[in-house]
Chains A and B, each alone.
Chain A
Amino acid sequence: SQTIHQWPATLVQPVGSPLSLECTVEGTSNPNLYWYRQAAGRGLQLLFYSVGIGQISSEVPQNLSASRPQDRQFILSSKKLLLSDSGFYLCAWRPDSRYGYTFGSGTRLTVV
């Protein structure tokens, strides 16, 4: 069966520090992968998506970046965090566009 792993679960980082969040999927190959952010009490904002290794599409310009170094690994990064980067970051995957997403357990990021 397919599973999605996301870590860490919580993170407190100072302003200006770097960020690296990792997401991996097991039990499938060539999944579509997504990064979403959810501000407190708000909806889900699509940040990046990837349909294959090295293929990244950005939805919202910001100081975040994403990479897909391996088929089942998706990484969200920042060189310098801003206070506004605080939120609940969710990785998601699906086999192809015919199916819904399955979300990872999320990372709650607080920038202080």
Chain B
Amino acid sequence: GENVEQHPSTLSVQEGDSAVIKCTYSDSASNYFPWYKQELGKRPQLIIDIRSNVGEKKDQRIAVTLNKTAKHFSLHITETQPEDSAVYFCAAADSWGKLQFGAGTQVVVTP
């Protein structure tokens, strides 16, 4: 089955700086890669996703890149703000269509 690894596990950034989270996956047949943001005690919320026929997607301060050859994808947050502080999860849909999640990255944005 699919195996997703996510790094780093924690990330501290100064407000206004950029944050980058990286994930790798194992199943070359995976074709859908969402990113979720989870605030403390809340449910995960989808923030951006990318499909295997696209190399990059951007939505305001958030962007995701996908390298299918290397089987890795990344989340980029620019001009970070305190409200970006949360746990971020990457995921990959395996050949059965089920989402397997990375272990998560705790992002802390300090003013």
Chain A residues within 8 Å of B, Cβ to Cβ = 32, 34, 42-44, 46, 49, 59, 90, 96-98, 100-106, 108
Which residues from chain B contact A44 at a C-beta distance below 8 Å?
A: 44, 89, 101
- Specify the chain B residue showing the minimal Cβ separation from A108: B41
Which residues from chain A contact B44 at a C-beta distance below 8 Å?
A: 44, 90, 103
Do the beta carbons of A46 and B43 come within 8 Å of each other?
no
Q: Could you tell me the distance between the alpha carbons of A97 and B32 in the complex, rounded to whole angstroms?
A: 9
The 14 sampled A-B contact pairs (Cβ below 8 Å) are: A32-B97, A34-B99, A43-B102, A44-B89, A46-B98, A46-B100, A90-B43, A90-B44, A100-B46, A100-B99, A101-B46, A104-B43, A106-B43, A108-B41
Given contacts A44-B89, A90-B43, contact A100 B98 (CB under 8 A): no
Encoded as 1 (CB less than 8 Å from any A CB) or 0, chain B from 90 to 105 comes to 0001000111111110
Which residues from chain A contact B34 at a C-beta distance below 8 Å?
A: 100-101
Do the beta carbons of A101 and B89 come within 8 Å of each other?
no
